[in-house]
Amino acid sequence: MTTGKINVSVENIFPLIKKFLYSDHEIFLRELVSNATDATLKLKHLTSIGEAKVEYGNPIIEVKIDKDAKKIHIIDQGLGMTAEEVEKYINQVAFSGAEEFLEKYKDSAKDSGIIGHFGLGFYSAFMVAEKVEIITKSHKDEPAAHWTCDGSPEFTLVASDKTDRGTEIILHIAEDSLEFLEEGKIRELLIKYNKFMPVPIKFGTRTEKVTTGEGDDATEETITVDNIINNPNPAWTKQPSDLNDADYKNFYRELYPMQFEEPLFNIHLNVDYPFNLTGILYFPKMSADLQIQKDKIQLYQNQVFVTDNVEGIVPEFLTMLKGVIDSPDIPLNVSRSYLQADGNVKKISNYITRKVADKLKSLFTENREDFEQKWNDIKIVLEYGMLSEPKFYEKAGAFVLYPSVDGKYYTLDELKEALKDKQTDKDDKLVVLYASNKDVQHSYIESAKEKGYEVLLLDSPIVSHLIQKLEADNEKLTFTRVDSDHIDNLIKKEDNPISKLSEDEQNNLKTVLEEIVPKTSYTVQLEAMDSKAAPFMITQPEFMRRMKEMSQSGGGG
């Protein structure tokens, strides 16, 4: 037997990192700004515990493009590195200084928001750059260092005359990545990934009008200020008790600047055990607005945007919501199928389901009228949730509503109570009469109402599946659409059928109607019809209609 050590040659690793580590080349900027943020947060922590003897001040990060020289600069005022530290942190691929820092300051720094993880982020710079320089001055009293590398495993490290604390990364953009020298492209990336990062990020300058002096002496002046592209303190990082309704609405606008519809309500997520997660979810108005499809829930890790594909993390029925989720505990470097099997992720998904159900319940109990008004906009999400998430279904009884055609809203329990004396069939089952379209089924609705029956309006596209589920779980409940033949078979029959037509007229009409109406799927009833609403009624066997519905919607629920 032979044992040995697999020999990994760096020459082979670089091209691999460049090609396969990240599928999106654009994330180099996210990684480098994350490192600049980490360097700043580390300094903040070290000054707060007295380990760094410098003034923390108000550090910012600056991103600059030098189009002529084909360079991008990322400059921070963080803790910097000594030459020795450059050797340790930069020259060792896959050694994470961020993890080391968190390990060293375990107790005090666990909430510091440090982003880095795998010790690979820095090398993503080589996806777009043919040469990278680091010029860095540590907060410690040591000379600055200048590191240069052209993507081969050779580097140079010399002293530098940089005097101010912090690090400047210079990317010499490769010919195949010149798009990243466009101001518009970089702004787009900063807004996509860094919009809510915790350290201010400057990208160019902008002008601002200010008024100085007072009264007649007041003069308006145009001044040039730093163009800060991010909001370092987004709403979800704050305590719910520090936010009011307007704050939540403003944040919605900040998240989706192109969305002018106001959200219906929000749910603030905030948990730190057994996993860490913060966020704000919004119930949007379910209008036909296409924008709604485009604005998705955004996933962040320590305020860095990761993705808006939350599949597998948020239960499917809630992916129609908007908002943000921020969690350092979601393993995002793994495949989606693995994600779904991950214990933490399952817990996160269950937590979100529970929070949403709790919020709905409290909205319902605190202001039922308001909740009823919103019902039409939220019902699809809730009904879909009942069908797809058993945990949600369990809680749904407390707030899911069944509206009548006349705008009355029942919970399931209230509905049972209301029907118990007037709508039962021969097996003593409660018969829930419902319409799926108020206009089309108008005369059936009127006729049922005249008989004193309560008719619900259940018009969402998945309602037939929901009915099946409710019938399966409520032995004593049966649903019947107003235009089905069951309405008369099941419900206590009226004593005198009222038709004002003579027997002859009735027969003639029946003959005519039966010629036009396909006999196999409909029944013509003249005698059962109430004269006021319509002279006759065509009904369809309930089971046939359901069969048809099922086959149209691609099989049973």
Residue 121 in the binding site for ligand ADP (CB under 6 A): yes
Shortest Å, Cβ 101 to Mg ion: 11
Residue 302 in the binding site for Mg ion (CB under 5 A): no
56-115 residues in contact with ligand ADP (CB under 6 A) are 76, 78, 80-81, 89-90, 96-98
Among Mg ion, ligand ADP, none, partner that 543 touches (CB below 5 to 8 angstroms by kind): none
For residues 86 and 140, the answer to whether their CB atoms sit within 8 Å is: no
Structure tokens, 221: 């002046």
Structure tokens, 360: 């709905």
Compose the 299-338 pattern: x for residues touching ligand ADP by CB under 6 A, - for all others: ----------------------------------------
Residue 36 in the binding site for ligand ADP (CB under 6 A): yes
**Which range touches Mg ion (CB under 5 A), out of 116-124, 180-188, 214-222, 447-455?**
116-124
Shortest Å, Cβ 139 to Mg ion: 19
Provide the pairing of β-strand 523-525 with 537-539.
Answer: antiparallel
Shortest Å, Cβ 102 to Mg ion: 12
Residue 167 in the binding site for ligand ADP (CB under 6 A): yes
Q: Which residue is nearest to Mg ion (CB)?
A: 121
Structure tokens, 485: 């033949």
Q: Which residues are annotated as a binding site?
A: 31, 35, 76, 81, 96-97, 167, 336
For residues 93 and 71, the answer to whether their CB atoms sit within 8 Å is: no
Angle between helices 368-388 and 463-473 (to 10 degrees): 80
CB under 8 Å to 237, separation ≥6 — which residues? 278, 303, 326
Q: Which amino acid is at 291?
A: Q
**Which range touches ligand ADP (CB under 6 A), out of 33-41, 216-224, 373-381, 471-479?**
33-41
For residues 538 and 525, the answer to whether their CB atoms sit within 8 Å is: yes
22-51 residues in contact with Mg ion (CB under 5 A) are 35
**Which range touches ligand ADP (CB under 6 A), out of 120-128, 261-269, 277-285, 398-406?**
120-128
| DSSP structural state of residue 548 | H
Residue 121 in the binding site for Mg ion (CB under 5 A): yes
**Of the candidate residues 66, 118, 176, 188, the single one contacting ligand ADP (CB under 6 A):** 118
Shortest Å, Cβ 80 to ligand ADP: 6
Widest Cα–Cα separation across the chain: 111
Q: Which residues are annotated as a binding site for ATP?
A: 31, 35, 76, 81, 96-97, 167, 336
**Of the candidate residues 59, 80, 113, 116, the single one contacting Mg ion (CB under 5 A):** 116
**Which range touches ligand ADP (CB under 6 A), out of 34-42, 270-278, 379-387, 455-463?**
34-42
Q: Using only the alpha carbons of the chain, give its radius of gyration.
A: 33
Q: Residues binding ligand ADP: what is the number (CB under 6 A)?
A: 22
Cis geometry, peptide bond prior to residue 461 (ω within 30 degrees of 0): no
Beta strands in 308-438 (DSSP E): 322-326, 402-403, 409-410, 430-435
DSSP code per residue over 29-58: HHHHHHHHHHHHHHHHHHHHTTSS-S----
Shortest Å, Cβ 116 to ligand ADP: 2
Nearer to ligand ADP, 38 or 454 (CB): 38
Nearer to ligand ADP, 89 or 193 (CB): 89
Print burial letters for 264-298: b (CB count within 10 Å at least 16), e (below 16): bbbbbbebeeebbbbbbbbbbebeeeeebeebbbb
Structure tokens, 36: 């600049």
Compose the 2-31 pattern: x for residues touching ligand ADP by CB under 6 A, - for all others: -----------------------------x
φ/ψ region of 546 (left if φ > 0, alpha if ψ in -120 to 50, else beta) reads alpha
Among Mg ion, ligand ADP, none, partner that 167 touches (CB below 5 to 8 angstroms by kind): ligand ADP
Residue 447 in the binding site for Mg ion (CB under 5 A): no
Residue count of the chain? 557
Nearer to Mg ion, 35 or 447 (CB): 35
**In 3-state terms, what secondary structure has residue 277?**
strand
For residues 169 and 29, the answer to whether their CB atoms sit within 8 Å is: no
Residue 445 in the binding site for ligand ADP (CB under 6 A): no
Residue 198 in the binding site for ligand ADP (CB under 6 A): no
3-state percent helix, strand, coil for the chain, nearest multiple of 5: 40, 20, 40
Among ligand ADP, Mg ion, none, partner that 81 touches (CB below 5 to 8 angstroms by kind): ligand ADP
For tokens 């239960």, name the residue. Answer: 315
Binding-site ranges for Mg ion (CB under 5 A):
35, 116, 121
Binding-site ranges for ligand ADP (CB under 6 A):
31, 35-36, 38-39, 76, 78, 80-81, 89-90, 96-98, 116-122, 167
